[in-house]
Structure 1
Amino acid sequence: MKKMLVLLLVTALVMGVVALAGCGEKKVTIEGEDGEVEVTEKDGEVSVTDEEGDSYSTKEISAEDLDIPIYPGAKVQEGTAAEITSEGVDGTESGSLAVLETKDSVSDVIAWYKDKLSGKEGFTDSSMALEGQEVGMFYYQDGDEMKSVIVGQNEETGVTEIVLSSGSAESMTMPETTE
């Protein structure tokens, strides 16, 4: 789970670099408190390699590539659909994610996803109220992949955001549920 969190954080950095990068290969070394990383962009794929030799790469995909139902009328937020791969001493892990948005209410989107996904293998509904806001969290198995859908309201813009993610079942850990 920690590795997937690192992947998601690196994705935010990398997608920013992709947005700024043009064609051809570009390399940049970034130094920080915890050491330095080398960022390489080539043909729309961005790789980040740390001092230990662990690497993370992302490439843009479409939301449809995740093979998760897409809420009707929802639009992908620019630069948020990506496949992420991590290579290091623990082996190779990969996953994909996309962030969508809609003006429909959080409760309508949650109800739609619950209806669409509840029959899936290993379906788990971990929806809850978080700081007074309704949040939908759904997980299910699709072959050797774990799929997740998280629905909530963006407090700044007021839109409903939908985070779709997919990864190998070994790399994604389901949250503990209390029933």
Structure 2
Amino acid sequence: MAINRPGEPSKQSFLMFYDHVELSFSDVDNMLEAFKGSTRGTVYLMPYQVVFVAKNSKEALKSFTMPFYLMKGCEIKQPVLGANYIKGTINAEPIGGWDGSAKFNLTFTSGGAIEFGQLMLRTASQVGCYPAYPPTEGTVNYMAPPPYPGPRTLPGGDGLLPWTREGPTPSLHSTC
């Protein structure tokens, strides 16, 4: 019987994972202690999001969730020198503990960036629209469990994926 670390997704809920990944942030609107430096851990690809869990539970950043609808400009980078990485921008979730946006890098120090990134982009392109919040008129306010609904486009008009009437238009190198 496998036991998960605290904060770690259950084995049945993710599509792929990689250990030995470093998460770092830059251009953070509100620089919290958790966003300073880089944090080593495990990254999980889930049907609606990417979840990072720190290896050391004493880190300021213990875990970080990036729903696809809040990510934009994702690219897989293959530098000549250094480990491959995935970069992009993440916008804060309302009531998510921080405000604004930040650029992120997921550096795969032991490999896997290409495989993880390609599956992440494919998965994001297949997600499509998110369902609406349940009606709350005349009832107690209720917040649906994750994945949370999201707009087709983010404030400012820059959406997760380019959209057509038929749905998202996948791009395997420029957005996620």
Give the TM-score taking structure 1 as reference length.
Answer: 0.26
Structure number having the greater helix percentage: 1
Structure of greater Rg: 1
* Structure with higher RCO (Cα < 8 A, 6+ apart): 2
